[in-house]
Amino acid sequence: MLGSKAPVNEDFALVNQEQGIHVICDASNKAGKGNYASEFVARQIQERLVHANREMRDQEISYQGPKRLQKMQESVLSAFNEVGADFLKLGTQNSNFAESLVSCIAVWVNDRFAILAHLGTCRAYLYRSGKIFTLTKDHVALEGNSEVPRVISRAFGPNLGTPDLLKIEFEPNDILFLATDGLYEGFDKNGILRMVEMMLNGENLKPLLSQCAYSSGDHATLVQIQFPAESTGSVLSASERIQLVSRTPLCRYMNYAEQSHMAALCQIEEFDAGTILVQEGTEGECMYLIAKGTLEVNVRGQFIVYKKAGEFLGEVSLIQQGKRTATAIAKDRVTLLSLQRSDLREAFKKDIELEKNFYRGMLEMVLDRLVEQGREIARMKSV
């Protein structure tokens, strides 16, 4: 929908349902020529991802499960880097690109998962179970000049940076929305929820979007990606995984998008009663979160404690390599989420905020344990 700020529409979006690749861009240009920059970035990103998708389909056996998602993530990052370099070259040769900054979101959907890359001030929203969640963080820096309260800190242009990368696991009936700032500045999250409800009821959205564009004064562009209603067949739904992760002290300072990313990094594992999951004295490579069932924890053959649903073990192995200090045995059939140290480190390389919030939670968890140990020692001395 057209706004009144710019003489031309500087938004551009491409949707390729067959390939599962969707791109939305929004440019800013002092000369009002951002439409050239938006279209260039969107088409170049999509072209590279379509090519990467076709290559993976030709090598289907080589890229299955986690390997496929890792390859998708690498391809998306490579596409942003390559297009960013080309865009900078164009800025020195073509006046239409010289002073342009382009915000961009690219989403590559595969089965029930998606890789999302984000630069700038476009936003991604997830509608799930009647609620709206914001998945992206605006890349802006505050300025002292009141006339320009903020500037884009990362976008295609001179201030190109590494995009935020997010792995999303969909649930049946999820809807992912990609929006330019003209849409979300026109109304808040409640307005977006109202828009979703209208859409689900089959109502015409044009009047609401027109109102939004009028309120913001900017062009408003929306891309909708709806996941089908069929069950994924997963033992644990995406919401159950995120809820389990959110209850872990390590993730207490993470927002919904970061907790979703952590949950998507985890693998579901099931074990029968009597299975030894962790052996004392062996090298630890992962942490376990218990979704269902009970684990019996022993040290030197002596029973210590039962770990039940909602609890976790092996968290130290996420930050350092070392020997397991206890043995954990499945008391009954258990369902776990396992998080590998190597996967977590790779995620940290691409998202410094995720790393910062993880270690903040880790530090507070350690301090809580030290305080509790101090109280226990004081109680023992008083006896």
Q: What is the pLDDT of residues 116-146, one digit of tens each?
A: 999 999 999 999 988 889 999 899 876 555 4
Distance, CA of 177 to CA of 114 (rounded, Å): 13
> Per-residue pLDDT for 78 more than 90?
yes
Greatest alpha-carbon pair distance for the chain in Å reads: 81
Q: Which of 113-117, 183-187, 313-317 has the lowest mean pLDDT?
A: 183-187
Q: How confident is the model at residue 49 (pLDDT cuts 50, 70, 90)?
A: very high
Mean pLDDT confidence for 289-304: 93
Determine the average pLDDT of the residues in 16-22: 93
Per-residue tokens: 255:
């927002």
Residue 31, pLDDT above cutoff 70: no
In this structure, is the dihedral angle defined by the CA atoms of residues 179, 183, 185 and 191, taken in order, positive or negative?
negative
**Phi/psi of residue 185, nearest 5 degrees:** -80, -15
Question: Cα-flanking dihedrals φ and ψ of residue 45, to 5°?
Answer: -65, -50
DSSP state of 174: -
Q: What is the DSSP letter of 180?
A: -
* Mean pLDDT for the stretch of residues 365-375: 85
Give the contacts of 270 (CB within 8 A, at least 6 positions apart): 235, 333, 334, 335, 336
Q: What is the pTM of this model?
A: 0.78
Question: Residue 176 forms beta bridges with which residues?
Answer: 126, 225
**In this predicted structure, what is the pLDDT of residue 144?**
52
Given a cut of 60, whether residue 149 has pLDDT beyond it is no
Average pLDDT, whole number, for the chain? 86
Boundaries of every domain in the chain: 11-226, 238-382
CB of 38 closer than 8 Å to CB of 180: no
Degrees to nearest 5, angle at CA 107 with 103 and 108: 145
Question: What's the confidence (pLDDT) of residue 208?
Answer: 79
Q: Classify domain 238-382 at the CATH class level.
A: mainly beta
Fold of 11-226: Phosphatase 2c; domain 1 (3.60.40)
Calpha distance 127→133 (Å, rounded): 6
